[in-house]
Amino acid sequence: MASPPHLRSLRRASTVRRPVEQVAIGADGVVRRTRADALATEEPLEIRLVRPGREATRVVVTMRTPGADFELAAGFLFAERIVRAPQDVAAIRYCTEGEQLFNVVNVVLTPSAEWEPSSLAERAFPVTSACGVCGKTSIEGALGTACPRVESDLVVTPEILLGLPDVLRRAQAVFERTGGLHAAALFTAEGALVRLREDVGRHNALDKLVGAALLAGELPLSRGIVLVSGRLSFELAKKAARAGVPVLAGVSAPSSLAVELAESVGMTLAGFVRGSRFNVYSGGERIAASLHATTGRGG
């Protein structure tokens, strides 16, 4: 699924350098100086579906940070139930013609893939890096079909869960240079980092993470913990549930609909995971009993 060697050096970079004027107030008054700063790259990615012998069909255009583009495409298509297994994907490759070099990905489906082209009609317009459901034309389309119930006997201790944000932060290479990216990471029940993906979009980061697991034949993620760097939206909860994630955690708050979804599928949802405490919104049975010695509200 890799691109030809002579094209790899031309791929879009995940960061760019730009001049910035820094303004600071010190003992001698206002000081202004110009320096180079690293910014997270944000560019469009068009995802297309290809059937052998047919023309490519545009699925969506999303704004993303270049890198792990094939995983992003696979994860997005899995979340939308267009791709259901790695056997559905014959190949993924860049379109290397025109000005948008490496900004268009063609996902070639196998003949056995169950994809109905008319199902794409609900995606009415491009989505942004910040949005997972903007392209849906109705509430029913946004909610989608019911997620399967999450089946897992995984249990995690509070100490392990509270230690994950520090591991996530240290592993965010692009965030370290730019301060401008979201992240989604997969951990074992023992707190070992399995895989991390970054992007300007929260949903893109999780799509990349799930896409990597899909292409590696690792779904469902029934023995893993997924931690995201921001708030826990409904769309993130839905993507995690479809991937079979038993424990989804975030350093910020969940939405009410995310909690409802987690409860309905039996997924553990933990928010405000930072410092020495966190809130459990659903699935508390997967958190080791020592957590229940502490009571109270907060976040």
- The model's pTM is 0.84
Residues carrying an active site annotation: 131
Contact 269, 259 (CB under 8 A): yes
Write the pLDDT tens digit of every residue in 10-58. Answer: 567 888 888 887 778 888 887 878 888 887 788 899 999 998 777 788 8
Where do the structural domains in the chain lie, given as residue ranges?
A: 43-139, 158-293
Contact 67, 14 (CB under 8 A): yes
Query: What type of residue sits at position 50?
Result: V
DSSP 165-204: HHHHHHH-HHHHHHS--EEEEEE-TT--EEEEEEESSHHH
How far apart are alpha carbons 244 and 124 in whole angstroms? Answer: 28
The CA–CA distances, whole Å, from 178 to 14, 175, 204 equal: 10, 5, 17
CATH classification code of 158-293: 3.40.140.10
User: Per the structure block, which two tokens stand in for 106?
Assistant: 């063609």
Beta carbons within 8 Å of 248's beta carbon, 6+ residues apart: 225, 226, 228, 232, 236, 237, 240, 262, 267, 268, 269, 270
How far apart are alpha carbons 289 and 291 in whole angstroms? Answer: 5
Mean pLDDT split into 10-residue runs, the chain, 299 residues: 45 79 81 82 90 82 92 95 93 80 90 71 52 49 66 95 94 68 94 95 95 96 95 93 97 92 94 93 88 42
The third-level CATH classification (topology) of the domain covering 43-139 is Ubiquitin-like (UB roll) (3.10.20)
